[in-house]
Amino acid sequence: MLRLVPQLARCSRNFTGQKVIRNCVKSLSYTSTRYSDITMTYELTSGEKYTVKAKEGENMLDIAINNDIDIDGFGACEGTLACSTCHLIFKQEDFDKIEDVATDEELDMLDLAFGLTDTSRLGCQVCLTKKLEGVVVKVPEGVNDQR
């Protein structure tokens, strides 16, 4: 349980609204009860690919940080939903597997993102699930930090 306290604090800062906080707590419970690794890949515009393993329930911003993936400007607000620097682009089939729906706050930040697409999400708002095993996310070539 002690491992979850920092995650819960960070998660509760990211969200407003009881329903979303409930989803956050639900996703954190996956981290505490399931320890199987899930593989995902970050693809940079330079062609570099970073394939990493993470726990179910971790968000994609924390996964990049915890695996020391050096993406210029990525996660400038540290996951507080105050910028769009952790913008990721998904393939349509992977985008459709994301369980949590984007909140109005996330959509507002995405409007400021560089290279926005129909399958864009903020990495701090997408938690890894078994459905996303093997997902490849593209990191746009630039960031637009409007903080």
Which pLDDT tens digits describe the chain residue by residue (147 residues)?
344 444 444 444 444 444 444 444 444 444 444 457 999 999 998 999 999 999 999 999 999 999 999 888 888 888 888 899 999 999 999 999 999 999 999 999 999 998 999 999 999 999 999 999 999 999 998 665 555
In this prediction, residue 9 carries a pLDDT of 44
Using an 8 Å Cβ cutoff, are 97 and 26 in contact? no
- Tell me the pLDDT tens digit for each residue of 7-31: 444 444 444 444 444 444 444 444 4
Return the pLDDT at 10: 46
Q: What is the pLDDT of residue 123?
A: 96
The whole-number pLDDT of residue 3 equals 43
Q: What is the pTM of this model?
A: 0.74
Whole-number pLDDT of residue 74: 86
| Residue indicated by tokens 């459709």 | 96
Residue type, 129: T
Q: What's the confidence (pLDDT) of residue 52?
A: 97
Instruction: Give the pLDDT confidence score for residue 144 in this predicted structure.
Output: 56
* pLDDT attached to residue 75: 86
Distances (CA, A) of 63 to 7, 74, 126: 12, 12, 11
**CA distance linking residue 37 with residue 120, whole number of Å:** 24
